[in-house]
Amino acid sequence: MLIRHGQSTWNHEHRIQGQLDPPLSTEGRRQAELLAPRFSGRTVAGFYASDLKRAFETAEILAPSIGLRPEAASSLREIFLGEWEGLTTEEIAVRYPEAWASWVEEPDWDTVPGGEGAAPFDARVGAALEAILGVHPQGDVLVVTHGGVIQIALHRVVGRPSRGLFPFKIQNASISLIEKRNGRMVIGGVNDIAHLEAALVTDVGPG
């Protein structure tokens, strides 16, 4: 079960986060509080979260319903976005016009100046998820992480690299499900936000 963190203060400002560390906004905390009852009474074999504030704070709000403390994992962090971190898209377009024009034409993590890059990000997320599945070959596992990480996980199931393309809508405090059936991974659901109040359904980009 892949959970995107609640809205952060920078999500609200439409500011690029990457691996910078803004906390949850007031709305984000409320999103997590509404999400928590979805797991009441459910037995979870493992509970992991990115160690960035917006994800780990979300996990801490879920913890009482789950009955476990989340294990922090830096490997579940969002992609590092180099010189773009902390900027709005308008600021990026002014400061990095060529790279931004290339991104708009065809998104690719490799165009981000000083960023982690597509292949290293894919490899990091893949290794993190495989390690978690290795520890928990059976049972439900809850992972609270970021939009880009969830996109990578879904792309790996369908056998296509992401490289910065985001065809799946992954909103704040949403649930996406990957299941193992007969030895194969399948996507069981994407972007479940049934628990959210209409006013708290946010449509912001990855991070």
- The residue extents of the domains of the chain are 2-200
Residue in 72, 17, 26 with CA at minimum distance from that of residue 47: 72
| Cα dihedral across residues 80, 86, 91, 94: positive or negative | negative
Closest listed residue to residue 107, CA positions, set 143, 145, 79: 79
- 38: phi then psi, degrees, rounded to nearest 5: -60, -20
Chain position carrying tokens 């609270």: 144
Provide the pLDDT for residue 205: 61
Chain segment 149-190, per-residue pLDDT in tens: 999 999 999 988 888 878 899 999 999 999 988 888 999 999
Q: What is the pLDDT of residues 71-108, one digit of tens each?
A: 999 999 999 999 999 999 999 999 999 999 999 999 99
What pLDDT is recorded for position 11?
Answer: 84
Active site residues: 5, 146
Which CATH superfamily hosts domain 2-200? Phosphoglycerate mutase-like (3.40.50.1240)
Name 132's Cβ contacts closer than 8 Å, sequence gap at least 6. 46, 48, 141, 143
Chain segment 4-33, per-residue pLDDT in tens:
999 999 987 889 999 999 999 999 999 999
Which sign does the torsion angle of CA 78, 79, 80, 83 carry? negative
Q: Tell me which DSSP letter residue 202 carries.
A: -
pTM of the model: 0.94
pLDDT digits (tens, 9 = 90+) for 50-72: 999 999 999 999 999 999 999 99
Q: Does residue 48 have a pLDDT over 70? A: yes
How far apart CA 64 and CA 192 sit, in angstroms, is 21
pLDDT in tens, 108-163: 999 999 999 999 999 999 999 999 999 999 999 999 999 999 999 999 999 888 88
Six-digit token string for 119? 């292949």
